[in-house]
Structure 1
Amino acid sequence: MSEGTLSDLQVKIQDKSAFGKLDDFYTLCDAFLAFIYRHSPARIISPNRRHYVFYQFDRLHSYRITRPLNTNLFIDRPDQFQQEQKQFTDFLGKLAHD
């Protein structure tokens, strides 16, 4: 799903049956971050809450704006997300064996 369009991502998010496993969330997050990396939307910082950002897409994507993203929780670089996801998965694996 990493080469999807914004519409593809929206359809995937709305399909509640598409989130049966933790890997499904990872796949969607990875696709979203890859999309942001490819398209470089404008990053808007919330004037009221500085740790919240929005992404606004270009004319090709009808200037759509994301929901607010909490930068204290949001990893915005695909490489960092992949690294953190691996560490998290390894941690969960260790918990399962203990």
Structure 2
Amino acid sequence: GLLAQLTTSKEELVKVNSDFKAFQACVNDELKNLRQQKEDEDALTQKALSEIKDNSQGFQNFTKTANKHPENEAVSQTDVDLQTEPENFPPSVEYHVTLRQ
């Protein structure tokens, strides 16, 4: 009677315990996968951000360099004049336009 019941309870406890350990192992694996996934995504995000920063820096340097060239300054100063008659063009712009034709 009582001894048999206790034995059964012990066997059930052992089974529940081993089931729980298996479940725990699954959860830990899943957590490990999620952490790895997050690390990978973070790394990709960092890479993208650093590329954006490099591109932005490169573009700023390009703009600074472009602005140092006098012919570009002449063109940008006369952007407004381009809508007026050709005889109003400063010589530098006329020269610039001729080159590109």
Q: TM-score surpassing 0.5?
A: no
Mark the structure with the bigger radius of gyration. 2
Choose between structure 1 and 2: higher strand proportion.
1
What's the TM-score, normalizing by structure 1?
0.25
Choose between structure 1 and 2: higher helix proportion.
2
More contact order relative to length (CA 8 Å, sep ≥ 6):
1
What's the TM-score, normalizing by structure 2?
0.24
